[in-house]
């Protein structure tokens, strides 16, 4: 599939053409890369790379619209034919766009409505879409949203502690640079030769805009930008974190209006506000020549990033890799050093020579930690256009699941025991008594019960499910977690590293063991059913349960294909209660969340 990608900013247009191979691996390669910027007096600067051919200079395009209109001729000049879709970067997708979407009239109206949340970005993105729809009326125009990746952030991360009425009006954290953070995390996992789903990664994107993202086991847990791209790090012209009390103070002391304060926080702050220049190269140059304002700006910039890395390591309960990207992250060895030098305490050490010698050609992702550093440190170029092309292709290629009814089973709280736990709780040589078989072949409920004890309360008579497993796993609902008084993460079964401890009490003794989770909802699938529905193991889907007014759609539902599985969706008691689901209900897979796993 051949895809044209546009990334339109307020004053520049980057674009690329990508070929996505069909079949295994889905390798995506860039065949053209171009940009138009510095529009002035009816002309602009342009650069173009096609294979080994490069060109650049001034060209007569008055604005971004004119530049886009000239792209068909430009492609024809380089004999590039057969574009099948146009992909667009859209900065703010709000709470609704969790995946790429076709930019038809209703979708564009939604994006337009989000403009107040990204006033610098969304209008430029939308203008590019409108022009592209005119120029290529017969091609699908697909939006990939900077915010989508972060919609997996839990409520504790995306909620501001403000009055209910404000939250009802839509005030919440979103996070941006999602396409970049996702690409960088996948690239880092590839470079480390480990599955992304097993890693805790902190992605540090330092360009004109800048943000840090904690990616826990493949999902964005938190990022430093918030409702708008203003929160978080010090940026080229944006302040990053500022006490919101500043608004009242500046209004009273300087008589500034809200609009004036916002404008200054977005356009005259950050490096520019501190030094007069928004460009880190200038700032580093001036600092080296002794300019105290530039020196302070560099220290402040690095301190803020380091603070976020420490916070996100704590938020994830550890970190395996820190990855630098963006113009500053990729090109400034001294900034990388300044940020990392304070992090020895958490086992992160940068190697002097490796950090100096970073070369990033051909998607390289060199590691720059010193020998023995527990945390890996990588540098890689971000490739937002490439990632957009991948996501557009995966979206257009997604198998349309055929609706087949799936029985829904409600799992009460239960425990899977490992051999050593059984021994400690019930005594040496003890064997569980099978009470009744479960629908998943080979699984059964035992006669025996255990008690869960937490710092706030205890839950008695908790079911034990057999057979024994390698690791003890305790599955409770979120409501149970508050009854116990423990913060319990939502995890897929078996993903137990870093999970909290709970005390289990049996007739023979008690143990304190980790393995306490709220199980992610999932669908067990027989391979034949998966094939019939066009689904694969590991994909996430949306499942609709119920009809009419009572219909409820569960997103982020994991498909688990296992030989001999009895096809059945598992939800917990909280989910069942929320939806008023009773026995013998059925669900229907209605969509594939292509952005999550298919790319």
Q: How far apart, in whole angstroms, are the C-alpha atoms of residue 101 and residue 106?
A: 11
Out of 146, 222, 231, 284, the residue judged to bind ligand ADP by CB under 6 A: 284
Q: How far apart, in whole angstroms, are the C-alpha atoms of residue 307 and residue 109?
A: 38
Cβ neighbours for 401, distance < 8 A, ≥ 6 positions apart: 533, 534, 535, 541, 589, 590, 591, 592
For residue 229, the minimal CB distance to ligand ADP (Å) is: 11
| Cα 72–chain centre separation | 33
Out of 279, 291, 574, 591, the residue judged to bind ligand ADP by CB under 6 A: 279
Helices of type H across 268-332: 270-275, 280-288, 292-316, 326-331
CB nearest ligand ADP: which residue? 327
For residue 293, the minimal CB distance to ligand ADP (Å) is: 16
Closer of 328 and 396 to ligand ADP (Cβ) = 328
Part in contact with ligand ADP (CB under 6 A); list of ranges 57-65, 74-82, 327-335, 359-367: 327-335
Query: For ligand ADP, what does the binding mask look like between residues 232 and 261, x meaning CB under 6 A?
Result: ----x-------------------------
Tokens matching residue 59: 């060209």
Out of 281, 363, 374, 456, the residue judged to bind ligand ADP by CB under 6 A: 281
Closer of 175 and 236 to ligand ADP (Cβ) = 236
Nearest to 554 by CA among 476, 490, 475, 485: 490
Tokens matching residue 520: 């992610």
193-232 residues in contact with ligand ADP (CB under 6 A) are 207-209
The residue with tokens 């909620």 is 159
Q: Is residue 280 within the footprint of ligand ADP (CB under 6 A)? A: yes
Closer of 37 and 591 to ligand ADP (Cβ) = 37
Closer of 335 and 545 to ligand ADP (Cβ) = 335
Q: How far apart, in whole angstroms, are the C-alpha atoms of residue 450 and residue 269?
A: 58
**What number of chain residues touch ligand ADP (CB under 6 A)?**
13
Part in contact with ligand ADP (CB under 6 A); list of ranges 16-24, 56-64, 280-288, 488-496: 280-288
The active-site residue, picked from 19, 60, 146, 574, is 146
Asked whether 233 and 224 are in contact (CB, 8 A), the reply is yes
Q: What is the DSSP letter of 567?
A: P
Part in contact with ligand ADP (CB under 6 A); list of ranges 156-164, 274-282, 346-354, 513-521: 274-282
Closer of 263 and 279 to ligand ADP (Cβ) = 279
For residue 46, the minimal CB distance to ligand ADP (Å) is: 17
From residue 230, alpha-carbon distances to 207, 221, 251, 267 in Å are 14, 19, 19, 10
For residue 328, the minimal CB distance to ligand ADP (Å) is: 4
Query: Is 146 in the active site?
Result: yes
Q: Are strands 473-475 and 458-469 parallel, antiparallel or unpaired?
A: unpaired
Q: Is residue 331 within the footprint of ligand ADP (CB under 6 A)? A: yes
Q: How far apart, in whole angstroms, are the C-alpha atoms of residue 449 and residue 505?
A: 9
Out of 125, 179, 332, 373, the residue judged to bind ligand ADP by CB under 6 A: 332
Instruction: Tell me the three-class secondary structure of 107-168, residue by residue.
Output: HHHHHHHCHHHCCCCHHHHHHHHHHHHHHCCCCCEEEEECCHHHHHCCHHHHCCCCCHHHHH
Q: What is the DSSP letter of 429?
A: T
Residues annotated catalytic, as ranges: 146
- Interface residues toward ligand ADP, by CB under 6 A: 207-209, 236, 279-281, 284, 326-328, 331-332
């Amino acid at each position: 599939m051949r895809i044209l990608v546009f990334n339109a900013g307020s004053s520049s247009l980057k674009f690329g053409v990508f070929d996505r191979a069909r079949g295994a691996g889905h390798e995506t390669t860039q065949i053209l890369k171009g940009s138009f910027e510095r529009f002035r007096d009816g002309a602009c600067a342009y650069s173009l790379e096609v294979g080994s051919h490069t060109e650049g200079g001034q060209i007569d395009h008055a604005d971004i619209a004119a530049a886009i209109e000239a792209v068909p001729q430009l492609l024809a000049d380089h004999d590039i034919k057969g574009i099948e879709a146009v992909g667009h970067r859209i900065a703010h997708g709000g709470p609704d766009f969790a995946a790429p979407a076709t930019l038809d009239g209703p979708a564009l109206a939604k994006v337009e409505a989000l403009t107040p949340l990204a006033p610098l970005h969304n209008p430029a993105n939308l203008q590019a879409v409108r022009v592209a729809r005119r120029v290529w009326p017969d091609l699908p125009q697909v939006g990939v949203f900077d915010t989508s990746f972060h919609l997996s952030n839990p409520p504790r991360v995306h909620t501001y502690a403000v009055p209910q009425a404000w939250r009802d009006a839509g005030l919440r954290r979103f996070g941006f640079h999602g396409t970049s953070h996702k690409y960088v995390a996948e690239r880092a996992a590839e470079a480390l030769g480990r599955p992304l789903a097993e890693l805790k990664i902190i992605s540090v994107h330092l360009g004109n805009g800048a943000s840090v993202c904690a990616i826990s086991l493949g999902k964005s847990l938190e990022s430093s930008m918030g409702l708008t791209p203003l929160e978080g790090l010090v940026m080229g012209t944006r302040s990053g974190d500022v006490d919101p009390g500043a608004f009242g103070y500046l209004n009273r002391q300087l008589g500034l209006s809200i609009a004036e304060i916002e404008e200054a926080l977005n356009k005259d702050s950050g490096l520019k506000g501190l030094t007069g220049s928004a460009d880190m190269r200038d700032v580093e140059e001036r600092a080296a020549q002794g300019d105290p304002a530039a020196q302070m700006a560099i220290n402040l910039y690095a301190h803020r990033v380091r603070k976020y890395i420490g916070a996100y390591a704590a938020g994830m309960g550890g970190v395996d890799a820190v990855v630098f990207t963006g113009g500053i992250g990729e090109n400034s060895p001294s900034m990388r050093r300044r940020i990392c030098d304070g992090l020895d305490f958490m086992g992160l050490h940068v190697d002097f020579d490796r950090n100096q010698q970073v070369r990033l050609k051909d998607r390289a992702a060199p590691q720059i930690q010193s020998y023995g550093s527990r945390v890996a440190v990588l540098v890689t170029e971000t490739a937002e256009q490439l990632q957009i092309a991948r996501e557009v292709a995966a979206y257009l290629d997604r198998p349309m699941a055929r609706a087949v009814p799936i029985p829904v089973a409600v799992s009460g709280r239960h425990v899977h025991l490992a051999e050593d736990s059984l021994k400690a709780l019930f005594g040496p040589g003890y064997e569980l008594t099978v009470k009744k078989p479960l629908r998943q072949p080979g699984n059964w409920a035992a006669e025996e019960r255990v008690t869960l004890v937490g710092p706030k309360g205890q839950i008695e008579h908790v079911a034990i499910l057999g057979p024994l497993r390698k690791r003890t796993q305790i599955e409770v609902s979120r409501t149970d977690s508050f009854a116990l008084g423990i913060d319990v993460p939502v995890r897929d079964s078996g993903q137990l590293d870093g999970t909290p401890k709970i005390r289990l009490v049996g007739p023979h003794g008690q143990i304190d063991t980790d393995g306490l989770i709220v199980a992610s909802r999932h669908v067990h699938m027989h391979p034949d059913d998966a094939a019939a529905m066009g689904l694969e193991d590991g994909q996430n889907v949306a499942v609709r349960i119920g009809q009419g007014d009572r219909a409820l759609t569960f997103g982020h539902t994991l498909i688990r294909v296992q030989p001999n599985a009895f096809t059945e969706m598992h939800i917990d008691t909280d989910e069942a209660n929320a939806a008023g689901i009773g026995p013998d209900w059925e669900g229907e897979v209605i969509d594939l969340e292509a952005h999550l796993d298919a790319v």
